[in-house]
């Protein structure tokens, strides 16, 4: 690495003369500064409760809208993945279990975004700017882990109803607990985390990074259609990547008390051995369609709701002043 010019000066007023030497060394282009930058103002204090509350409201709203609009596609996807061999699927009752599912989707989506938003802000204030993707990945995984406590029982009941095993959510919960114990509501929990933690982390990271890049290029805030398009792309891409994990999760969740599969690895081996590797991509078309459209609606509604809440807060603060 080269150095800057060396400057030598002498102070003739002193006896003996004092020679001063200085060297100006330029900083490397991609230097990483550890510690506090004196020229950079400290980040504003994090209003954790406000971000938590607004994220909870926005997440719950977006989750309910998406689930209601796209439930039939999700039902078809689940039935495609659950059926073995070349058996045909039933296209009746595509909204089976919707109301019971919404009872779980609302708090799960609220918890996810409610945890994701303040975690993201905290990590962005902590990490260097060039590690923003790591902040989004980490926040997405943490949000998914928190929401999984409600997501998994909701998913188990929903998929059992979608495959025709039960006709109502309360009946499903009662019979699952009676036959399999409370742990039956968390069937496939490991495979759910294996699918959803990477999914949440990747989807939100892609979405946030695309938004940052687009916002920087356009030099303005994004509008609702632009957020929706970016959300659709992030959702479709992530949905395609994680389809094999989704197939395994579905098989483990719908097997019931028969315990056809002993675990994640056994499930993968059995599916590949009996149905071929292509079976791990079952339902990829409706999944990509469902999550692509869902990403468009979810992120569009999410950003819109966050903006409305921010405007209302600003109006409220202005009245107080």
- Band of pLDDT at residue 178, cut at 50, 70 and 90: very high
Least confident window among 28-42, 103-117, 160-174, 208-222: 28-42
Rounded Cα distance between 266 and 56, Å, is 38
Question: Taking 60 as the threshold, does the pLDDT of residue 17 lie above it?
Answer: no
Rounded Cα distance between 210 and 9, Å, is 52
Select from 317, 306, 319 the least CA-distant residue to 51: 306
Its pTM stands at 0.70
Residue 104 gets the label, from left (phi > 0), alpha (psi -120 to 50) or beta, of: alpha
- Band of pLDDT at residue 194, cut at 50, 70 and 90: confident
- As a whole number, mean pLDDT of residues 144-167 equals 88
Pairwise pLDDT comparison (86 vs 298), residue with the higher score: 298
What is the number of other CB atoms lying within 10 angstroms of the CB of residue 22?
10
Which pLDDT score, from 0 to 100, does residue 84 have? Answer: 73
Which pLDDT score, from 0 to 100, does residue 212 have? Answer: 93
- Band of pLDDT at residue 34, cut at 50, 70 and 90: very low
- As a whole number, mean pLDDT of residues 90-108 equals 83
Those residues with Cβ within 8 angstroms of residue 54's Cβ, 6 or more apart along the chain or in another chain:
117, 306, 309, 310, 313
Q: Secondary structure of the chain: what % helix, strand, coil (to 5)?
A: 70, 5, 25
């Amino acid at each position: 690495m080269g150095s800057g010019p060396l400057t030598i000066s002498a102070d003739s007023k002193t006896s003996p003369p004092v020679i001063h030497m200085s060297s100006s060394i330029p900083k490397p282009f991609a230097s990483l500064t550890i510690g506090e930058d004196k020229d950079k103002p400290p980040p504003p204090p994090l209003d954790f409760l406000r971000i938590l509350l607004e994220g909870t409201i926005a997440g719950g709203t977006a989750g309910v809208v998406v689930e209601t609009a796209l439930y039939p596609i999700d039902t078809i996807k689940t039935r495609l993945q659950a059926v073995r061999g070349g058996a045909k699927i039933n296209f009746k009752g595509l909204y089976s279990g919707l109301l019971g599912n919404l009872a779980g989707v609302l708090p799960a989506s609220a918890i996810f975004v409610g945890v994701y938003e303040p975690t993201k802000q905290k990590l962005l204030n902590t990490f260097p700017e060039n590690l923003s993707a790591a902040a989004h990945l980490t926040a997405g995984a943490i949000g998914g882990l928190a929401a999984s406590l409600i997501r998994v029982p909701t998913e188990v009941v929903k998929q059992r109803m979608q495959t025709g095993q039960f006709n109502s959510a309360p009946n499903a919960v009662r019979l699952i607990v009676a036959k399999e114990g409370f742990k039956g509501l968390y069937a496939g929990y490991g495979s759910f985390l294996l699918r959803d933690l990477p999914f949440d982390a990747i989807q939100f990271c892609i979405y946030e990074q695309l938004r940052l890049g687009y916002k920087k290029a356009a030099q303005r805030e994004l509008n609702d259609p632009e957020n929706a398009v970016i959300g659709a792309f992030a959702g479709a891409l992530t949905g395609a990547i994680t389809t094999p994990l989704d197939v395994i999760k579905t098989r483990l969740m719908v097997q019931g008390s028969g315990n056809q599969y002993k675990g994640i690895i056994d499930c993968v081996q059995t599916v590949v051995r009996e149905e071929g590797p292509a079976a791990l991509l079952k339902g990829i078309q409706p999944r990509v369609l469902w999550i692509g459209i869902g990403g468009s609606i979810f992120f569009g509604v999410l950003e819109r709701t966050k903006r409305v809440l921010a405007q209302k807060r600003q109006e409220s603060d202005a009245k107080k002043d």
